[in-house]
């Protein structure tokens, strides 16, 4: 491993090849630990947050060529290792592979870390995955027993009080309860309330002013919100849950303001004004109604509602783009059609002038964080304000790329990696990364029992232990 050749020495025996393979595996383990530490620090500093990248995982997907799911796992493991110093140190010494560490970090905590480390050092990756899976199954058995009790105890009871009021009493599972609270919070905004603050109500014979919504007791606001929920469901049913139109935003904007960005009306229906660029973004892919008004604002003519992008053209866009076209973005749902040259500026609504963007990148384009240009060969170029540009080619298409000839590429056989580790005092040999398992049978049931006991002492295991029948079966072959 002196770095003089990129291929193995033909004179090496198979034993020497095996030793070199395991030694280099240890160096790769140590390098992986360093890489994960860099990722955790990069994410902590939000080095990826350049206004066009949505997360550290998306940055890794874009810059390092990782699958988005694998990139998310890298970020998760990187942060998990910060709370598992023993596991992290063993990986930094080259003793643990990423596969083992990835599995352990799913379930390990301070109380179980040492036990999991011993299992990982003396067992294979298969052993580790099996123990992790069975420990999680035991943990979930306890969690599910608690959830099943919630489900069994769920109920809504009611009765009519003496004054005619309806008294409700509900016991809901945690998930349903949180959903109810969120719905009540959202409905509080739409609670009807008298507009005249001077209206008085008779209470105990004394006139009192009506309280503003902000001064109403929280319990009273939630009671009114519950009524709003009932009226809404009776009026609309479950349409929103079965593919119905969930949300509609109406924007009023003057033609001059929309086309020339001049001063003019640009506001939400019964809401505040918004930037013209926001209206242009919403108008890229929306239903449009043209209203002609006189000087006093009285409507003279109302046109038909039309789609800015017809359904047939949208189908063609979906086939061509298959999701957001921004490089590295994998969103295929909740996407908009964007006019490269806006229709308000005379841009045509045709396939060559349209591109699919997710809501995030669509907003960045209209806020000036990215400029979109279409190249002669049909590819798209996204340009940041600093001048940095990225090319996007439609899925299934290719464009010429500059290829470095093999002879001009720098060779690397791991020699530089070995030298770097030695310079940092990391000593790795052929036995460092080799699994210490010698073929003996592993007692999975005993391992799970020990892990549960230590997790209980650390307070990370559910209080109610699962019954013996809920524990993983023993006798799993190694």
**292 and 383 fall within a common domain:** yes
**183 and 205 fall within a common domain:** yes
Domain range for 44 = 14-147+430-470
In a domain, 421, yes or no: no
The mean pLDDT value for 404-409 works out to 45
Q: Tell me the percentage of the chain whose pLDDT exceeds 90.
A: 14
**373 and 441 fall within a common domain:** no
Judged against a pLDDT cut of 70, whether residue 235 lies above it is answered with yes
In a domain, 300, yes or no: yes
CB-based contacts of 432, cutoff 8 Å, min separation 6: 22, 23, 26, 93, 94, 95
Q: Which tops the pLDDT comparison, 44 or 179? A: 44
Q: What is the pLDDT of residue 74?
A: 94
> Each residue of 215-224: pLDDT tens digit?
566 788 788 8
> Each residue of 16-41: pLDDT tens digit?
888 889 888 999 999 999 999 999 99
**129 and 189 fall within a common domain:** no
Judged against a pLDDT cut of 80, whether residue 107 lies above it is answered with yes
**129 and 206 fall within a common domain:** no
Q: Is residue 465 classed exposed, middle or buried when 0-12, 13-18 and 19+ CB atoms within 10 A define those classes?
A: middle
- HSE toward the beta carbon, residue 348, CA cutoff 13 A: 5
Q: Which tops the pLDDT comparison, 192 or 289? A: 289
Residue 106, CA distances (Å) to 141, 171, 225, 472 in order = 16, 32, 40, 18
Q: Which tops the pLDDT comparison, 92 or 158? A: 92
**167 and 134 fall within a common domain:** no
Least confident of 39-43, 337-341, 443-447: 443-447
- End-to-end alpha-carbon separation of the chain, Å? 34
- Let me know how many helices (H) and strands (E) the chain has, helices first: 15, 15
**51 and 134 fall within a common domain:** yes
Q: What is the pLDDT of residue 262?
A: 61
CB-based contacts of 228, cutoff 8 Å, min separation 6: 187, 190, 191, 192
**DSSP category for residue 296:** T
Q: What is the pLDDT of residue 468?
A: 42
What kind and span of H or E run contains 178? Answer: helix 174-188
Confidence at 158, pLDDT banded by 50, 70, 90: confident
Q: Tell me the percentage of the chain whose pLDDT exceeds 70.
A: 73
In a domain, 73, yes or no: yes
In a domain, 256, yes or no: no
Boundary-marking domain end, from 237, 252, 276: 237
> Each residue of 37-95: pLDDT tens digit?
999 999 999 998 877 788 899 889 888 888 888 899 999 999 999 999 999 999 999 99
Indicate if the alpha-carbon torsion angle 48, 54, 56, 61 is positive or negative. Answer: negative
The DSSP-derived string for 247-289 is ----EEE-HHHHHH--S--EEETTS-B--HHHHHHHHTTSEE-
The DSSP-derived string for 109-121 is -TTTHHHHHHHHH
Q: What is the pLDDT of residue 87?
A: 95
Find the DSSP H helices in 298-374. Answer: 311-321, 359-366
Averaged pLDDT of the chain: 76
Provide the number of structural domains found in the chain: 3
Indicate if the alpha-carbon torsion angle 111, 117, 122, 127 is positive or negative. Answer: positive
In a domain, 76, yes or no: yes
Confidence at 409, pLDDT banded by 50, 70, 90: very low
Q: Which tops the pLDDT comparison, 272 or 170? A: 170
Distance CA 369, CA 384 (A): 6
Q: What is the pLDDT of residue 39?
A: 95
Q: What is the pLDDT of residue 207?
A: 45
**DSSP category for residue 30:** H
Judged against a pLDDT cut of 90, whether residue 103 lies above it is answered with yes
**Rg of the chain over CA atoms, in angstroms?**
31
Confidence at 197, pLDDT banded by 50, 70, 90: very low
CB-based contacts of 64, cutoff 8 Å, min separation 6: 71
The mean pLDDT value for 146-150 works out to 63
pTM of the model: 0.55
Cα 203–207–209 angle (5° rounding)?
A: 100
Distance CA 184, CA 171 (A): 16
In a domain, 416, yes or no: no
**141 and 160 fall within a common domain:** no
Residue 147, CA distances (Å) to 57, 154, 171, 466 in order = 32, 11, 13, 13
**351 and 319 fall within a common domain:** yes
Least confident of 91-105, 266-280, 332-346: 266-280
In a domain, 403, yes or no: no
Name which of 198, 220, 218 is nearest 210 in CA terms. 198
Q: What is the pLDDT of residue 192?
A: 62
Q: Which residue has 């140190």 as its token pair? A: 89
Judged against a pLDDT cut of 90, whether residue 304 lies above it is answered with no
């Amino acid at each position: 491993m002196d770095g003089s050749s990129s291929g193995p020495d033909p004179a090496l025996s198979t034993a020497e090849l095996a030793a070199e393979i395991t030694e280099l595996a240890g160096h790769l383990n140590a390098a992986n630990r360093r890489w994960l530490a860099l990722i955790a620090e990069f994410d902590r500093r939000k080095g990826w947050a350049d206004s066009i990248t949505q997360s550290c995982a998306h940055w890794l997907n874009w810059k390092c060529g990782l699958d988005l799911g694998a990139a998310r796992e890298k970020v998760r493991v990187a942060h998990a290792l910060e709370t598992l110093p023993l596991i992290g140190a063993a990986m930094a010494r080259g003793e643990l592979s990423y596969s083992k560490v990835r599995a352990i970090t799913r379930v390990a905590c301070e109380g179980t870390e040492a036990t999991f480390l011993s299992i990982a050092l003396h067992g294979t990756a298969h052993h580790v995955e099996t123990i992790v899976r069975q420990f999680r199954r035991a943990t979930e058995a306890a969690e599910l027993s608690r959830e099943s009790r919630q489900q069994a105890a769920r109920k809504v009871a009611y009765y009519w009080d003496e004054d005619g009021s309806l008294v409700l009493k509900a016991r809901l599972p945690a998930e349903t309860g949180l959903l109810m609270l969120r719905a009540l919070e959202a409905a509080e905004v739409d609670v009807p309330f008298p507009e005249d603050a001077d209206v008085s109500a008779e209470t105990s014979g004394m006139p009192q002013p009506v309280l503003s919504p902000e001064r109403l007791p929280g319990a009273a606001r939630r009671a009114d919100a519950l009524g709003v929920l009932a009226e809404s469901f009776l009026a609309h049913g479950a349409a929103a849950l079965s593919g119905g139109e969930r949300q509609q935003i109406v924007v009023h904007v003057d033609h001059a303001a929309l086309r020339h960005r001049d001063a003019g009306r640009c506001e939400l229906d019964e809401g505040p004004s918004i930037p013209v660029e926001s209206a242009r973004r919403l108008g890229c892919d929306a239903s449009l109604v043209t209203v002609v008004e006189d000087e006093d604002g009285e409507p003279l003519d109302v046109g038909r509602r039309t789609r800015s992008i017809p359904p047939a053209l949208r189908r063609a866009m979906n086939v061509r783009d298959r999701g957001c076209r921004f490089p590295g973005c994998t969103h295929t749902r909740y996407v908009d059609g964007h006019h490269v040259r806006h229709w308000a500026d005379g841009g045509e609504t045709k396939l060559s002038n349209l591109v699919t963007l997710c809501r995030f990148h669509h907003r960045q384009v209209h806020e000036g964080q990215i400029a979109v240009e279409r190249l002669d060969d049909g590819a798209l170029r996204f340009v940041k304000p600093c001048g940095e540009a990225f090319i996007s080619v439609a899925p299934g298409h290719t464009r010429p790329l500059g290829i470095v000839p093999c002879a001009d590429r720098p060779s690397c056989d791991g020699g530089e990696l070995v030298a770097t580790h030695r310079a940092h005092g990391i000593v790795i040999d052929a036995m460092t990364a080799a699994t210490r398992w010698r073929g003996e049978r592993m007692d999975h049931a005993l391992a799970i029992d020990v892990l549960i006991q230590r997790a209980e002492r650390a307070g990370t295991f559910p209080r109610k232990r699962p019954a013996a029948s809920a524990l993983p079966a023993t006798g799993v072959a190694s």
